[in-house]
Chains A and B, each alone.
Chain A
């Protein structure tokens, strides 16, 4: 980000042509259910890395109109556990070359993330995570409050607030990207490769033969398929219920909100789990904020207002300059959470159905990484090494990848 050009001053124009809007064929080698970021990225890498193009991406609404249109676009890989770091760091490396790969602007801005620590235990956990990150080759530093203020001067580091800032972890390579452009870049590239992106096409059931799925039933007719990849995020349980497959997923509304457009005031990303708010400033100038999920299960794409009040109180205490900013709009996406706050990816009891779910509040940052690994999984009929630890059977074996409280993860 240069000081001469304010962020968002020159948003790129869209291409004249993005993708076709084809009628579904009778049959595909691979059917991807869900036309969001993960589904589109999987389609792209199926074509690019494996030459598999007889593929349909089925989207019940409009392309990338679910969580992909509703997220807060943060990208980072500063997770504690090796398994999580492997997939998120793989993803971050792909983000770093994605604009060239897609030939499309995605406004990836590596402005860094500060994860604030507010208590003695926060500090210990944070320093531990920094060291774990370093061991895994992830850029990470521990910063004192004064160093935090140098990177983001509007953070209130005074010691007379309820939870004073005691320091922060810092990942300089973390960033944000323009979520719609990311989706359109993947969609355009998949379409170019001959993959059919089929919108307004809801899956209503499956046809099966023993432990094989032979086709999907949709609102636009029956479609036969060789392999199915479920990439429906918060609605994965609805699909799995149709297959009679149980998975420990709970869908929750995850709210986000933006302020009116402001001059550049917030040069990085700041997250706080203790007071629970996170903030970045979008390319156009909105302050983009989020926190944790609403407590109850829900599919309603809205949440309770007291959740917003709580995170606003935290934000204004941490960033006193926000006090006069106006809230422009709020919304929610539906995220599927798991008992160990890690995704569920890989085999299902059906030999040709793969599930990609349970990303909770953190799915956007994984987009290219999971697309890459799921395409590899589908192409080779076995889990890619980066998704193998996230198999459904870990809830029976006890080999959980428990990121709750470990990775500055908020769900």
Chain B
């Protein structure tokens, strides 16, 4: 188990958190104009990098807030956590 830095609560046990997949996936601005291919991209297609990955986490066993993190998928190390709406920080991987 590792500690994850909740932007509101500070470091807490991994078991308090829930994973939410890739971060910064915005709802389409003009949904009625999307093709089937574009809808498929929005709904199903996600990045799957081997390295730093911006993703969503929920502190479901604590403050229950969603936040974002950059985590290295090779080592599982959290390189940064930040509040929703904040830009993705530059990190050293």
Contacts and interface: CB of A to CB of B under 8 A. Distances in A.
A306 B46 contact: no
Contacts of A295: 18-19
Interface in B41-65: 41, 43-46, 48-50, 53, 55
Contacts of A304: 1-2, 14
A237 interface: yes
B34 to A, nearest CB: 12
Given A296-B71, A300-B76, A241 B49 contact: yes
A259 B24 CA distance: 42
A299 interface: yes
Given A295-B19, A296-B19, A251 B73 contact: yes
B1 A297 contact: no
Nearest to B69: A296
B70 to A, nearest CB: 12
B86 interface: no
Given A299-B74, A300-B75, A305-B1, A238 B15 contact: no
A362 B37 CA distance: 28
A298 B72 CA distance: 8
A4 interface: no
B36 interface: yes
Interface string B1-27: 110000000000011001101000000
A339 interface: yes
B73 A248 contact: no
A263 B16 CA distance: 39
Contact of B76 (A298, A396, A398): A298
A135 B44 CA distance: 32
Contacts of A336: 48
A250 B55 CA distance: 12
A246 interface: yes
B91 interface: no
B53 A297 contact: yes
Given A296-B55, A300-B73, A248 B44 contact: yes
Given A248-B45, A251-B48, A251-B73, A297 B55 contact: yes
B83 to A, nearest CB: 20
A285 to B, nearest CB: 30
B48 A237 contact: yes
Interface string A221-246: 00000000000000101100100001
Contacts of A298: 73-74, 76
A246 B43 CA distance: 13
A395 interface: yes
Contacts of B76: 296, 298, 300
Nearest to B57: A296
Contacts of A251: 48, 50, 73
Interface in A324-355: 336, 339
A68 to B, nearest CB: 20
A397 B35 CA distance: 11
A235 B50 CA distance: 9
A309 B14 CA distance: 14
Interface string B68-93: 00010111100000000000000000
A176 interface: no
Nearest to B38: A396
A249 interface: yes
B46 to A, nearest CB: 6
Taking each of A237, A247, A298, A397, which has the highest tally of chain B beta carbons within 10 Å of its own beta carbon?
A298
Contacts of A397: 36
16 contacts: A237-B48, A237-B49, A237-B50, A238-B50, A249-B48, A251-B73, A296-B71, A296-B76, A297-B21, A297-B53, A300-B73, A306-B14, A306-B15, A339-B43, A395-B43, A397-B36
Closest 8 CB pairs of A and B: A237-B48, A295-B19, A248-B44, A396-B40, A395-B44, A395-B40, A299-B50, A339-B44
Given A238-B50, A339-B44, 18 more contacts: A241-B49, A247-B45, A248-B45, A248-B46, A250-B48, A251-B48, A251-B50, A251-B73, A296-B55, A296-B76, A298-B76, A299-B73, A300-B73, A305-B1, A306-B1, A336-B48, A339-B43, A395-B45
